[in-house]
Amino acid sequence: MRIGLAGVGRIGAFHARTLLGVPAVESLVVCDADQQAAAAVAKELDAEHVADVETLLRAGLDGFVIAAATPAHAPMLRLAIEAGVPTFCEKPVAHTLEETLELARLAATSEVPVHIGFQRRFDAGYRRVQEAIAGGELGFVHTIRANTHDQSPPHASYIPTSGGIFRDCNVHDYDAIRFVTGREVVTAYATGGNKGEAFFAEAGDVDTGAAVLTLDDGTMCLVSSTRYNGGGHDVRLEAMGSKATLTAGLDDSLAMRSAEPGETFPAGPPHQTFMDRFQPAYVAELTAFAEVAKGVTPSPCTVADALQAFRTAEACDVSRREGRVVQLAEVPDL
């Protein structure tokens, strides 16, 4: 297969390397607004590079991967759907709810497969939690705790166009909660704070966030995020039920240390970035995308799925700014 990739920053260069390891992928063409960066990645990977996304979409592609900065997602996805090219798009689908709704409508009326990059759906631990809840192993689930704690912040220029911590980081947790429980969020109360560098507050964002969500079956979810988790990259989901509790991300590389005397768990080096934490999941999601692009399997995470996670992020952002509980019904839907 011939795959095109737009955006060769942190995740784009990583996806480019991963794609070249997917057996179905024979050739890769990249582009980036920063032409030198595109040329450098193409040289390193023995791939081709072109000047812009319009040229890329005319390069005889079997599939297209959008890994550019968030504001570029919506225009690129629109062009790809119009060009009829199966597309993998990094989360979030768009920078704003309005654009996400527009893309969800466009995708719903199109035959072009679109797969959104929520890689936790391909992580072995999250999948095991999903199976256990669906199979009744946990009894009734009363509480979910989910977190995205980054070891250190991204570069300062990333933050003003990121959409804020709920749309950028916790959107993964909101999607994972829907994925493992099969339920929808009905209310959100969120708050946040800034103790780190000034550029978060200057962009109207927070460097640490927390939310309480309720699901349509009464399950409570406690969701947190931070850009300053010095102990390492800590991403987990705990599902607590009337019969048992199961946790995704509880392994020897857990980015925490026990305060109990003599306790050695977790013993391994803590995860440092999303790349080492989710490496097998990224391989699995891009391998799945090749099957989606071939038309062998349907998209495992559609624009409609991503819209629901984004609506929860939107509700959390409104809640934090207005200091009140937000009903999801207040947030526009399809």
Ligand X SMILES: NC(=O)c1ccc[n+]([C@@H]2O[C@H](COP(=O)([O-])OP(=O)(O)OC[C@H]3O[C@@H](n4cnc5c(N)ncnc54)[C@H](O)[C@@H]3O)[C@@H](O)[C@H]2O)c1
Q: Is 34 in the site for ligand X (CB under 6 A)?
A: yes
Task: Kindly give the pairing relationship between strand 326-327 and strand 185-193.
Answer: antiparallel
Q: Considering only CA atoms, which of 128, 126, 162 is closest in space to residue 146? A: 126
Do residues 87 and 68 lie in contact, with contact meaning Cβ atoms separated by under 8 Å?
A: no
Minimal distance, residue 44 CB to ligand X, in Å: 14
- We find the least distance from the C-beta atom of residue 99 to ligand X, in angstroms, to be 13
The whole-angstrom separation of Cα 112 and Cα 292 is 10
- Looking at beta carbons only, is 136 or 154 nearer to ligand X? 154
Q: Is 224 helix (H, G, I), strand (E, B) or coil?
A: strand
CB of 322 to ligand X, least distance (A): 25
> Contact letters (x/-) for ligand X, 243-282, by CB under 6 A?
-------------------------------x--------
Q: Which is nearer to ligand X, 114 or 138 (CB)?
A: 114
Q: Is 67 in the site for ligand X (CB under 6 A)?
A: yes
- Contact flag: residue 8 with ligand X (CB under 6 A): yes
Give least dist CB 59 to ligand X, A: 15
Nearer to ligand X, 88 or 331 (CB): 88
Rule CB under 6 A: choose which of 4, 63, 113, 117 binds ligand X. 117
Task: Round to whole Å and give the CA distance between 216 and 230.
Answer: 35
- d(CA 307, CA 303) in angstroms, rounded, equals 6
Distance between CA atoms of 79 and 77, rounded to whole angstroms? 5
Q: Are 85 and 57 contacting, i.e. CB atoms less than 8 angstroms apart?
A: yes
Q: Do 138 and 245 meet the contact criterion of CB atoms below 8 Å apart? A: yes
Asked if 37 interacts with ligand X (CB under 6 A), we say yes
Q: Site residues for ligand X, window 126-165 (CB under 6 A)?
A: 154, 158
Closer residue to ligand X, CB minimum distance, 7 or 241? 7
Is position 6 an interface residue for ligand X (rule: CB under 6 A)?
A: yes
CA contacts within 13 A on the Cβ side of 126: 27
Question: Among residues 1, 3, 7, 188, which is the contact residue for ligand X, using CB under 6 A?
Answer: 7
**Which residues in the 192-231 window bind ligand X by CB under 6 A?**
none
- Per CB under 6 A, the list member of 68, 190, 286, 313 interacting with ligand X is 68
The reply on whether position 11 binds ligand X by CB under 6 A is yes
Tell me the two tokens of residue 308. Answer: 């629901």
- Which contacts (CB < 8 Å, 24+ apart) does range 74-83 have? 74/99, 74/100, 74/102, 74/103, 76/6, 77/103, 77/114, 77/303, 78/103, 78/106, 79/53, 79/54, 80/112, 81/106, 81/107, 81/110, 81/112, 81/114, 83/57, 83/58
Report which residue's Cβ sits closest to ligand X. Answer: 9
Per rule CB under 6 A, is residue 72 in the interface with ligand X?
Answer: yes
Min dist CB 289 to ligand X, Å, is 13
Stretch of residues binding ligand X (CB under 6 A), selected from 29-37, 175-183, 262-270, 293-301: 29-37
Residue with smaller CB distance to ligand X, 53 or 133: 53
Q: What 3-state class would DSSP assign to 10?
A: helix
Kindly state the smallest distance separating residue 323's Cβ from ligand X, in Å: 27
- 175 scored as a contact of ligand X (CB under 6 A): no
The two three-digit tokens of residue 220, written as one number = 């409570």
- 264 is written with which tokens? 């050695």
Q: Which residues bind ligand X (CB under 6 A)?
A: 6-12, 31-34, 37, 53, 67-70, 72, 90-91, 117, 119, 154, 158, 168, 274
